[in-house]
Amino acid sequence: MTTTQQTHRHPPTSHDTPVLAELLGASKQFGRGPATVRAVSGLELEVRSGELLALLGPNGAGKSTAIGMLTGLTAPTSGRARLFGRDPRDVSARQRLGAMLQASGVPDTLRVRELLTQFRGYYPEPLPMAQIVAAAGLDGLEGRMFGELSGGQQRRVLFGIALAGDPDLVVFDEPTTGLDVEARRGLWATLRDLARSGRGVVLTTHYLEEADALADRIVVIDRGVVIAQGTPAEIKARVPGRRVRARTSASLTVAHQWPGVARASREGPWLELLAASAEPVLRALLDLDPSATEVTVTEPSLEEAFLALTHDLEDPR
Ligand SMILES: Nc1ncnc2c1ncn2[C@@H]1O[C@H](COP(=O)(O)OP(=O)(O)OP(=O)(O)O)[C@@H](O)[C@H]1O
């Protein structure tokens, strides 16, 4: 996959750059009565020109619902969504938007070139075909039928379709799912180019690594609410990357003071910590208690790591 040469349309990201899309206290419920699902609650979100924003969160966090509200696919139950200052369902707003969502609905029997031509036809000033093909890594696939492509190749076609209208804002729901490592890296480079050219880019991902590699700003969502937001460095400093467990007499109060510790709990003689990284914690533990035994270091699940960020957890101190 190669990257595109884009023209610079807006100055680089700053708080002076235009807001392209926003959610203002947006909530979304599905169903009624006891079956109600609160997918998103009171979400505040804004995307600016030239900015790459990653929505990060575990399965069912509400990422796709948030994207659906931003792109006008679904209306908030309460609160508001704005796209280019308008209702996201307004055609004039959607013409400046490119989206690659999880469900495609693309006919299997159309060839890649026909599909791209069809989608280019929907927009007043589409991106040149060659640029779409290059950006989406579709070289050599133009004559193939969509339904005969591999999952990863189909994702690339959907990526190309999202770029067809030369959009000012591009929204990608888990764009790298199903892509191999090389294709993923290529797509990352293209996403960076899109933001550098002054477009706004929003993507959802389960992977902190992906958000870290790409985003100017990360919004972490869990159970429909924002639990953290900031630059990748700020988020990484708060998301625990390691679980350290040891048989030790060290107290919870002391353990909480160790560098990067997000959570500490005790289970009988075992102390368990979630921390940004293991080494500083191991040093502090063994300094304090050289007789600590059965020390293990493992990776917490993403769910656990995100939960450690929430403030409503019982504090074990
Ligand atoms: N159309 C719908 N009808 C009922 N419930 C829904 C609908 N769409 C989403 N939900 C529910 O809303 C919650 C949030 O779902 P959403 O798809 O937004 O999460 P997500 O963060 O995108 O998850 P994933 O990473 O698994 O794609 C989930 O509990 C989901 O089951």
- Domain holding 289: CATH number? 3.30.70
What total number of domains does the chain contain? 2
Query: Which residue CA neighbors atom 10 of ligand 1 most closely?
Result: 39
- Provide CB contacts within 8 A for 258, sequence distance 6+: 273, 275, 280, 281, 284, 285
Q: How confident is the model at residue 139 (pLDDT cuts 50, 70, 90)?
A: very high
Q: Residues 214, 259: one domain? A: no
Q: How confident is the model at residue 59 (pLDDT cuts 50, 70, 90)?
A: confident
Identity of residue 152: G
Q: Ligand 1: distance of its center to the CA of 272 in Å? A: 32
Query: Which residue CA neighbors atom 12 of ligand 1 most closely?
Result: 39
**Residue of 27, 32, 37 to mutate, ligand 1, most atoms within 8 A of C-beta:** 37
**3 located within any domain:** no
Closest atom of ligand 1 to CA, residue 55: 21
**4 located within any domain:** no
**Average pLDDT of the segment spanning 238-264:** 91
**Average pLDDT of the segment spanning 27-53:** 92
Domain span including residue 206: 19-231
Segments of the chain assigned E as strands: 19-30, 37-48, 52-56, 78-83, 97-100, 169-173, 200-205, 217-222, 225-230, 242-247, 261-267, 270-275, 293-298
Mean pLDDT in the chain? 87
DSSP 127: P
Give the pLDDT confidence score for residue 310 in this predicted structure.
61
**Average pLDDT of the segment spanning 44-73:** 93
Q: Ligand 1: distance of its center to the CA of 18 in Å? A: 30
Query: Which residue CA neighbors atom 28 of ligand 1 most closely?
Result: 60
Query: What phi-psi label fits residue 233: left (phi over 0), alpha (psi between -120 and 50 degrees) or beta?
Result: alpha
Q: Residues 213, 251: one domain? A: no
Give the pLDDT confidence score for residue 15 in this predicted structure.
63
Q: Residues 145, 223: one domain? A: yes
Q: Ligand 1: distance of its center to the CA of 59 in Å? A: 8
**Residue of 27, 30, 204 to mutate, ligand 1, most atoms within 8 A of C-beta:** 30
